Amino acid sequence: MKRFTIAMVMIVWFAAIFGLAILNLELTPTVRAQELPVLMVENPQQEGTADWTISDMTFESNYPIGFTFKIKASSSGGAITRARALWYSPLLRPSETRNIQAQEGEFDPETGLWTATWEASAIMMVPPWVELMFHWELKDAAGNSFETEPTIAEYADNTRQWTRSESDAATVFTFDLGPEVKETVLDAIAQQQPQYEAVWGAPLPRKPRVVLFGSLDAWMEWRTVDDNAEESMIIGQTFDQWNAVEQVLFGGDMDAAIRELAYSTVVHEIEHLYQAEYVWSTRDVYDIPSWFMEGDATFFELEQSYDYLGKVQEMAANDVLPPLLVDPADAPRTDGDNARDGYDIGYTFIVWLREQGGVETHHQVMKLLADDVPFFSALEQVTGMSKEEIE
Protein backbone atom coordinates (compact mmCIF):
# COMPACT_ATOMS: atom_id res chain seq x y z
CA MET A 1 0.00 0.00 0.00
CA LYS A 2 2.76 2.39 0.91
CA ARG A 3 4.66 1.46 -2.21
CA PHE A 4 1.58 2.30 -4.21
CA THR A 5 1.39 5.76 -2.67
CA ILE A 6 4.95 6.57 -3.70
CA ALA A 7 4.30 5.32 -7.21
CA MET A 8 1.30 7.59 -7.46
CA VAL A 9 3.26 10.59 -6.30
CA MET A 10 5.81 9.93 -9.01
CA ILE A 11 3.17 9.54 -11.69
CA VAL A 12 1.59 12.83 -10.69
CA TRP A 13 4.97 14.50 -10.80
CA PHE A 14 5.75 13.17 -14.26
CA ALA A 15 2.27 14.12 -15.41
CA ALA A 16 2.88 17.66 -14.21
CA ILE A 17 6.06 17.79 -16.24
CA PHE A 18 4.32 16.43 -19.28
CA GLY A 19 1.52 18.96 -18.93
CA LEU A 20 4.03 21.76 -19.11
CA ALA A 21 5.94 20.24 -21.97
CA ILE A 22 4.56 21.96 -24.99
CA LEU A 23 4.13 25.25 -23.21
CA ASN A 24 7.78 25.62 -22.40
CA LEU A 25 9.68 24.14 -25.23
CA GLU A 26 10.44 27.44 -26.82
CA LEU A 27 11.84 28.84 -23.60
CA THR A 28 15.55 28.95 -23.15
CA PRO A 29 16.88 26.07 -21.09
CA THR A 30 17.77 28.27 -18.17
CA VAL A 31 14.17 28.13 -16.97
CA ARG A 32 13.31 25.92 -14.03
CA ALA A 33 13.97 22.31 -14.85
CA GLN A 34 10.46 21.06 -14.22
CA GLU A 35 9.37 23.48 -16.90
CA LEU A 36 11.87 22.07 -19.35
CA PRO A 37 10.41 18.68 -19.98
CA VAL A 38 12.69 17.54 -22.74
CA LEU A 39 12.56 14.00 -21.39
CA MET A 40 8.86 13.77 -22.05
CA VAL A 41 8.95 14.94 -25.64
CA GLU A 42 8.32 12.08 -27.97
CA ASN A 43 8.61 13.93 -31.23
CA PRO A 44 10.82 16.75 -32.38
CA GLN A 45 9.26 20.10 -31.66
CA GLN A 46 8.79 22.69 -34.27
CA GLU A 47 7.71 26.28 -34.47
CA GLY A 48 6.81 27.69 -37.87
CA THR A 49 5.83 26.01 -41.09
CA ALA A 50 9.15 24.89 -42.57
CA ASP A 51 10.00 21.30 -43.45
CA TRP A 52 13.16 20.24 -41.68
CA THR A 53 15.54 17.48 -42.69
CA ILE A 54 17.99 16.13 -40.17
CA SER A 55 20.79 13.68 -40.87
CA ASP A 56 24.18 12.63 -39.57
CA MET A 57 23.48 13.47 -35.92
CA THR A 58 26.42 12.09 -33.89
CA PHE A 59 28.08 12.26 -30.49
CA GLU A 60 31.82 11.63 -30.14
CA SER A 61 33.65 11.24 -26.87
CA ASN A 62 37.03 12.96 -26.81
CA TYR A 63 37.65 11.73 -23.27
CA PRO A 64 39.36 13.02 -21.19
CA ILE A 65 39.08 16.47 -22.75
CA GLY A 66 35.39 16.54 -23.63
CA PHE A 67 33.00 15.62 -26.43
CA THR A 68 31.66 16.79 -29.77
CA PHE A 69 28.16 16.89 -31.21
CA LYS A 70 27.63 16.98 -34.97
CA ILE A 71 24.55 17.42 -37.10
CA LYS A 72 23.58 18.00 -40.71
CA ALA A 73 20.28 19.82 -41.14
CA SER A 74 18.31 21.78 -43.70
CA SER A 75 15.08 23.74 -43.68
CA SER A 76 12.66 24.66 -46.48
CA GLY A 77 12.50 28.08 -44.80
CA GLY A 78 16.03 28.97 -45.81
CA ALA A 79 19.59 28.67 -44.60
CA ILE A 80 20.17 27.63 -41.02
CA THR A 81 21.38 30.64 -39.08
CA ARG A 82 21.94 29.13 -35.67
CA ALA A 83 22.48 25.68 -34.24
CA ARG A 84 23.34 24.79 -30.68
CA ALA A 85 23.60 21.57 -28.73
CA LEU A 86 22.03 21.38 -25.26
CA TRP A 87 23.16 18.63 -22.92
CA TYR A 88 22.23 17.52 -19.42
CA SER A 89 21.77 14.52 -17.20
CA PRO A 90 19.06 12.07 -18.32
CA LEU A 91 17.86 12.42 -14.71
CA LEU A 92 17.16 16.11 -14.93
CA ARG A 93 15.65 16.85 -11.53
CA PRO A 94 14.01 20.08 -10.43
CA SER A 95 17.04 20.95 -8.31
CA GLU A 96 19.42 20.54 -11.23
CA THR A 97 18.16 23.42 -13.31
CA ARG A 98 21.50 25.09 -13.69
CA ASN A 99 23.18 21.98 -14.94
CA ILE A 100 21.91 22.32 -18.49
CA GLN A 101 24.80 23.22 -20.76
CA ALA A 102 24.63 24.82 -24.19
CA GLN A 103 27.35 24.68 -26.84
CA GLU A 104 27.06 26.92 -29.88
CA GLY A 105 27.45 25.10 -33.16
CA GLU A 106 29.88 26.11 -35.89
CA PHE A 107 29.10 25.51 -39.52
CA ASP A 108 31.61 23.95 -41.88
CA PRO A 109 30.57 24.80 -45.47
CA GLU A 110 32.82 22.05 -46.88
CA THR A 111 31.15 19.18 -45.04
CA GLY A 112 27.79 20.86 -44.44
CA LEU A 113 28.05 19.83 -40.77
CA TRP A 114 27.36 21.85 -37.66
CA THR A 115 29.81 20.99 -34.86
CA ALA A 116 29.48 21.87 -31.17
CA THR A 117 32.19 20.94 -28.68
CA TRP A 118 32.40 20.87 -24.91
CA GLU A 119 35.81 20.93 -23.28
CA ALA A 120 36.62 20.02 -19.70
CA SER A 121 38.05 22.94 -17.75
CA ALA A 122 39.23 24.01 -14.33
CA ILE A 123 35.65 24.89 -13.44
CA MET A 124 33.78 21.98 -14.96
CA MET A 125 34.46 18.29 -15.44
CA VAL A 126 32.31 15.32 -16.38
CA PRO A 127 33.26 11.90 -15.02
CA PRO A 128 33.87 9.06 -17.46
CA TRP A 129 31.22 6.51 -18.40
CA VAL A 130 28.22 8.59 -17.39
CA GLU A 131 25.18 8.88 -19.58
CA LEU A 132 24.16 12.28 -20.82
CA MET A 133 21.26 13.44 -22.87
CA PHE A 134 21.36 16.03 -25.63
CA HIS A 135 19.32 17.69 -28.31
CA TRP A 136 19.90 20.37 -30.93
CA GLU A 137 18.09 23.68 -31.29
CA LEU A 138 18.04 25.00 -34.85
CA LYS A 139 16.84 28.24 -36.41
CA ASP A 140 16.52 29.19 -40.07
CA ALA A 141 16.69 32.50 -41.94
CA ALA A 142 12.88 32.83 -41.98
CA GLY A 143 12.74 32.59 -38.19
CA ASN A 144 11.47 29.00 -38.00
CA SER A 145 12.88 26.87 -35.21
CA PHE A 146 13.27 23.18 -34.63
CA GLU A 147 14.39 20.93 -31.79
CA THR A 148 15.65 17.42 -32.31
CA GLU A 149 14.50 14.58 -30.14
CA PRO A 150 16.57 14.11 -26.95
CA THR A 151 19.17 11.41 -27.39
CA ILE A 152 21.21 9.47 -24.84
CA ALA A 153 24.99 9.36 -25.21
CA GLU A 154 27.79 7.89 -23.10
CA TYR A 155 30.99 9.70 -22.18
CA ALA A 156 33.22 6.71 -22.89
CA ASP A 157 36.95 6.47 -22.28
CA ASN A 158 38.02 4.96 -25.60
CA THR A 159 41.69 5.39 -24.77
CA ARG A 160 41.89 2.41 -22.39
CA GLN A 161 40.75 -1.15 -21.96
CA TRP A 162 37.83 -0.99 -19.51
CA THR A 163 35.61 -3.84 -18.41
CA ARG A 164 31.89 -3.37 -18.07
CA SER A 165 29.52 -5.55 -16.06
CA GLU A 166 25.86 -5.11 -15.45
CA SER A 167 23.24 -6.50 -13.07
CA ASP A 168 19.57 -5.62 -12.60
CA ALA A 169 20.65 -3.02 -10.07
CA ALA A 170 23.82 -1.35 -11.38
CA THR A 171 26.47 -1.10 -14.08
CA VAL A 172 30.10 -1.37 -12.98
CA PHE A 173 33.11 -0.21 -15.00
CA THR A 174 36.65 -1.11 -13.98
CA PHE A 175 40.06 -0.18 -15.29
CA ASP A 176 43.29 -1.82 -14.17
CA LEU A 177 41.58 -3.87 -11.45
CA GLY A 178 41.17 -7.62 -11.09
CA PRO A 179 38.19 -9.34 -12.73
CA GLU A 180 36.72 -10.15 -9.30
CA VAL A 181 36.26 -6.50 -8.38
CA LYS A 182 33.17 -5.85 -10.44
CA GLU A 183 31.56 -9.09 -9.21
CA THR A 184 32.27 -8.16 -5.60
CA VAL A 185 30.73 -4.72 -6.09
CA LEU A 186 27.66 -6.07 -7.89
CA ASP A 187 27.23 -8.63 -5.11
CA ALA A 188 27.25 -5.93 -2.42
CA ILE A 189 24.68 -3.86 -4.31
CA ALA A 190 22.49 -6.91 -4.94
CA GLN A 191 22.51 -7.68 -1.21
CA GLN A 192 21.28 -4.17 -0.39
CA GLN A 193 18.85 -3.71 -3.28
CA PRO A 194 15.76 -4.99 -1.40
CA GLN A 195 16.67 -2.66 1.47
CA TYR A 196 16.94 0.43 -0.82
CA GLU A 197 13.61 -0.38 -2.39
CA ALA A 198 11.94 -0.96 0.97
CA VAL A 199 13.14 2.38 2.34
CA TRP A 200 12.38 4.40 -0.82
CA GLY A 201 9.44 2.47 -2.27
CA ALA A 202 11.12 2.13 -5.67
CA PRO A 203 14.50 1.55 -7.28
CA LEU A 204 16.43 4.42 -8.85
CA PRO A 205 14.80 5.42 -12.15
CA ARG A 206 18.04 4.66 -14.02
CA LYS A 207 20.65 2.13 -13.00
CA PRO A 208 23.50 3.79 -11.12
CA ARG A 209 26.98 3.53 -12.62
CA VAL A 210 29.95 2.59 -10.48
CA VAL A 211 33.24 3.55 -12.14
CA LEU A 212 36.39 2.15 -10.53
CA PHE A 213 39.99 3.02 -11.33
CA GLY A 214 43.01 0.91 -10.39
CA SER A 215 45.41 3.61 -11.59
CA LEU A 216 45.99 6.98 -10.02
CA ASP A 217 47.25 8.47 -13.29
CA ALA A 218 44.06 7.45 -15.09
CA TRP A 219 42.02 8.91 -12.23
CA MET A 220 43.84 12.25 -12.21
CA GLU A 221 43.48 12.66 -15.94
CA TRP A 222 39.79 13.64 -15.93
CA ARG A 223 39.80 15.59 -12.63
CA THR A 224 40.32 18.99 -14.16
CA VAL A 225 38.69 20.91 -11.31
CA ASP A 226 40.96 19.56 -8.58
CA ASP A 227 43.65 21.74 -7.15
CA ASN A 228 46.48 19.27 -7.12
CA ALA A 229 48.66 21.67 -5.18
CA GLU A 230 46.54 20.82 -2.14
CA GLU A 231 47.99 18.40 0.34
CA SER A 232 44.93 16.19 0.30
CA MET A 233 43.61 14.57 -2.80
CA ILE A 234 40.11 13.45 -3.75
CA ILE A 235 40.04 9.69 -4.30
CA GLY A 236 36.33 9.18 -4.65
CA GLN A 237 33.33 11.24 -5.62
CA THR A 238 29.63 10.57 -6.03
CA PHE A 239 27.86 12.59 -8.70
CA ASP A 240 24.15 12.52 -8.04
CA GLN A 241 23.64 14.65 -11.14
CA TRP A 242 25.28 11.91 -13.21
CA ASN A 243 23.92 8.98 -11.18
CA ALA A 244 27.48 7.75 -10.72
CA VAL A 245 29.90 6.69 -8.01
CA GLU A 246 33.55 7.17 -9.07
CA GLN A 247 36.44 5.77 -7.00
CA VAL A 248 40.14 5.03 -7.32
CA LEU A 249 42.03 2.26 -5.50
CA PHE A 250 45.79 2.20 -5.28
CA GLY A 251 48.59 0.90 -3.12
CA GLY A 252 48.32 -0.94 0.19
CA ASP A 253 46.41 -4.13 0.83
CA MET A 254 44.25 -4.38 -2.30
CA ASP A 255 42.10 -7.27 -1.05
CA ALA A 256 41.06 -5.32 2.03
CA ALA A 257 40.60 -2.15 -0.01
CA ILE A 258 38.34 -3.90 -2.53
CA ARG A 259 36.21 -5.38 0.26
CA GLU A 260 35.83 -2.03 1.94
CA LEU A 261 35.04 -0.38 -1.38
CA ALA A 262 32.27 -2.86 -2.22
CA TYR A 263 30.69 -3.59 1.17
CA SER A 264 31.11 -0.15 2.78
CA THR A 265 31.81 2.67 0.34
CA VAL A 266 29.74 1.82 -2.73
CA VAL A 267 26.59 0.74 -0.88
CA HIS A 268 26.87 3.89 1.28
CA GLU A 269 27.30 6.14 -1.77
CA ILE A 270 24.40 4.56 -3.63
CA GLU A 271 22.15 5.50 -0.72
CA HIS A 272 23.20 9.13 -1.33
CA LEU A 273 21.96 8.72 -4.93
CA TYR A 274 18.57 7.65 -3.55
CA GLN A 275 18.53 10.65 -1.21
CA ALA A 276 19.25 12.93 -4.16
CA GLU A 277 16.61 11.29 -6.29
CA TYR A 278 13.80 11.07 -3.79
CA VAL A 279 14.43 13.79 -1.21
CA TRP A 280 16.59 16.58 -2.60
CA SER A 281 14.91 16.66 -5.98
CA THR A 282 11.56 17.64 -4.50
CA ARG A 283 12.42 19.23 -1.18
CA ASP A 284 12.49 23.01 -0.87
CA VAL A 285 13.29 23.08 2.86
CA TYR A 286 16.96 22.67 3.69
CA ASP A 287 16.61 21.70 7.34
CA ILE A 288 17.76 18.07 7.22
CA PRO A 289 20.99 17.86 9.22
CA SER A 290 23.93 16.20 7.53
CA TRP A 291 24.30 13.73 10.44
CA PHE A 292 20.89 12.32 9.49
CA MET A 293 21.74 11.86 5.80
CA GLU A 294 25.18 10.46 6.57
CA GLY A 295 23.73 8.22 9.29
CA ASP A 296 21.17 6.93 6.80
CA ALA A 297 23.88 6.24 4.18
CA THR A 298 26.06 4.58 6.83
CA PHE A 299 23.15 2.33 7.75
CA PHE A 300 23.48 0.80 4.28
CA GLU A 301 27.08 -0.29 4.84
CA LEU A 302 27.22 -4.07 5.01
CA GLU A 303 30.57 -4.07 6.79
CA GLN A 304 31.67 -1.49 9.31
CA SER A 305 35.17 -0.07 9.59
CA TYR A 306 34.77 -0.33 13.39
CA ASP A 307 31.88 -0.69 15.84
CA TYR A 308 29.89 2.52 15.22
CA LEU A 309 27.18 1.67 17.73
CA GLY A 310 29.74 0.71 20.39
CA LYS A 311 31.54 4.01 19.97
CA VAL A 312 28.33 6.01 20.43
CA GLN A 313 27.29 3.91 23.45
CA GLU A 314 30.65 4.65 24.99
CA MET A 315 30.20 8.38 24.33
CA ALA A 316 26.80 8.17 26.03
CA ALA A 317 28.27 6.30 28.99
CA ASN A 318 30.92 9.00 29.35
CA ASP A 319 28.25 11.68 29.01
CA VAL A 320 29.94 13.32 26.02
CA LEU A 321 27.17 12.85 23.44
CA PRO A 322 26.33 16.16 21.78
CA PRO A 323 22.63 17.11 21.58
CA LEU A 324 20.98 15.82 18.42
CA LEU A 325 17.70 17.53 17.61
CA VAL A 326 19.01 21.07 17.83
CA ASP A 327 20.21 23.78 15.50
CA PRO A 328 22.69 22.16 13.07
CA ALA A 329 25.45 24.42 14.39
CA ASP A 330 25.20 22.65 17.78
CA ALA A 331 24.43 19.16 16.45
CA PRO A 332 27.01 16.46 15.67
CA ARG A 333 29.31 17.42 12.79
CA THR A 334 30.11 15.44 9.68
CA ASP A 335 33.11 17.59 8.86
CA GLY A 336 36.19 18.85 10.66
CA ASP A 337 38.07 17.09 13.44
CA ASN A 338 35.08 15.16 14.81
CA ALA A 339 33.58 14.32 11.42
CA ARG A 340 33.09 10.64 12.27
CA ASP A 341 30.86 11.59 15.22
CA GLY A 342 28.10 12.78 12.89
CA TYR A 343 28.24 9.56 10.88
CA ASP A 344 28.29 7.29 13.93
CA ILE A 345 25.63 9.16 15.89
CA GLY A 346 23.50 9.43 12.75
CA TYR A 347 23.87 5.69 12.20
CA THR A 348 22.88 5.01 15.80
CA PHE A 349 19.84 7.24 15.37
CA ILE A 350 18.69 5.29 12.27
CA VAL A 351 19.14 2.02 14.20
CA TRP A 352 16.96 3.49 16.97
CA LEU A 353 14.40 4.75 14.44
CA ARG A 354 14.08 1.28 12.97
CA GLU A 355 13.61 -0.21 16.43
CA GLN A 356 10.42 1.88 16.61
CA GLY A 357 8.70 0.15 13.71
CA GLY A 358 11.19 -1.48 11.40
CA VAL A 359 11.74 -0.55 7.79
CA GLU A 360 8.25 0.94 7.65
CA THR A 361 9.24 3.69 10.09
CA HIS A 362 12.35 4.42 8.05
CA HIS A 363 10.27 4.54 4.87
CA GLN A 364 7.65 6.83 6.41
CA VAL A 365 10.25 9.36 7.53
CA MET A 366 11.81 9.49 4.06
CA LYS A 367 8.39 9.85 2.45
CA LEU A 368 7.52 12.82 4.68
CA LEU A 369 10.89 14.42 3.98
CA ALA A 370 10.27 14.03 0.24
CA ASP A 371 6.92 15.76 0.81
CA ASP A 372 8.63 18.81 2.33
CA VAL A 373 7.52 18.11 5.92
CA PRO A 374 9.95 19.92 8.27
CA PHE A 375 12.59 17.54 9.60
CA PHE A 376 11.64 17.58 13.29
CA SER A 377 7.91 17.31 12.43
CA ALA A 378 8.56 14.29 10.21
CA LEU A 379 10.30 12.50 13.09
CA GLU A 380 7.54 13.44 15.53
CA GLN A 381 4.75 12.35 13.18
CA VAL A 382 6.26 8.97 12.46
CA THR A 383 7.40 8.07 15.99
CA GLY A 384 4.45 9.67 17.77
CA MET A 385 6.94 11.24 20.19
CA SER A 386 7.84 14.85 20.76
CA LYS A 387 11.25 16.16 19.81
CA GLU A 388 12.21 16.20 23.50
CA GLU A 389 11.12 12.58 24.00
CA ILE A 390 13.12 11.46 20.98
CA GLU A 391 16.18 13.28 22.18
Residue whose CB is nearest to Zn ion in the complex, by number: 297
In the complex, the smallest distance separating the C-beta of residue 44 from Zn ion, rounded to whole angstroms, is 41
CA–CA distance, 16 with 154 (Å, rounded to integer):
28
- Find the shortest distance in angstroms from Cβ 330 to Zn ion: 21
**CB nearer Zn ion, residue 85 or residue 293:** 293
Decide if residue 297 touches Zn ion (CB under 5 A): yes
Closest separation in Å from C-beta 297 to Zn ion: 4
Complex with Zn ion: residue 66 or 295, whichever CB lies closer:
295
Task: Candidates 52-60, 84-92, 290-298, 315-323: pick the segment binding Zn ion (CB under 5 A).
Answer: 290-298
- What is the DSSP pairing of strand 52-61 with strand 45-47? unpaired
CB of 253 vs Zn ion, minimal distance in Å: 23
3-class SS string, the chain: CHHHHHHHHHHHHHHHHHHHHHHHCCCCCCCCHHHCCHHHCCCCEEECCCCEEEEEEEEEECCCCEEEEEEEEEECCCCEEEEEEEEECCCCCHHHHHHCEEEECEEECCCCEEEEEEECCCCCCCCCCCEEEEEEEEEECCCCEEECCCEEEECCCCCCCCEEEECCCCEEEEECCCCHHHHHHHHHHHHHHHHHHHHHCCCCCCCCEEEEECCHHHHHHHCCCCCCCCCCCCCEEEECCCCEEEEECCCCCHHHHHHHHHHHHHHHHHHHHHHHHHHHCCCCCCCCCHHHHHHHHHHCCCCCCCCHHHHHHHHHHCCCCCCCCCCCCCCCCCCCCCHHHHHHHHHHHHHHHHHHHHHHHHHHHHHHHHCCCCHHHHHHHHHCCCHHHHC
Which is nearer to Zn ion, 70 or 268 (by Cβ)? Answer: 268
Closer of 157 and 294 to Zn ion (Cβ)? 294
Q: Which is nearer to Zn ion, 85 or 244 (CB)?
A: 244
Q: Which is nearer to Zn ion, 297 or 312 (CB)?
A: 297
Residue 52 or 292: which CB sits closer to Zn ion? 292
| CA atoms 230, 236, 239, 240: torsion sign | negative
Stretch that binds Zn ion, among 103-111, 114-122, 202-210, 293-301 (CB under 5 A): 293-301
Measured from the CB atom, the residue of 275 and 361 that comes closer to Zn ion is 275
Looking at this protein, which amino acid is placed at residue 317?
A: A
Q: Which of 125, 339 has the CB closer to Zn ion?
A: 339
Mark the segment that binds Zn ion (CB under 5 A) among 16-24, 215-223, 288-296, 366-374: 288-296
* Binding flag, residue 245, Zn ion (CB under 5 A): no
Binding window for Zn ion (CB under 5 A); candidates: 75-83, 221-229, 249-257, 292-300: 292-300
Site for Zn ion in 188-217 (CB under 5 A): none
Residue 233 CB, shortest distance to Zn ion, in Å, is 18
Instruction: Give min distance, CB of 29 to Zn ion, in A.
Output: 31
Q: Which stretch binds Zn ion (CB under 5 A): 41-49, 71-79, 152-160, 289-297?
A: 289-297
Taking the complex as a whole, the smallest distance from the CB of residue 254 to Zn ion amounts, in Å, to: 23
CB of 257 to Zn ion, least distance (A): 18
Please work out the total of residues on this chain that contact Zn ion, with binding judged by CB under 5 A.
2
Residue 379 interacting with Zn ion (CB under 5 A):
no
Contact assessment for residue 2 and residue 367, using Cβ atoms and an 8 Å cutoff: yes
* Shortest Cβ 272–Zn ion spacing (Å): 6
Interface with Zn ion (CB under 5 A): 294, 297
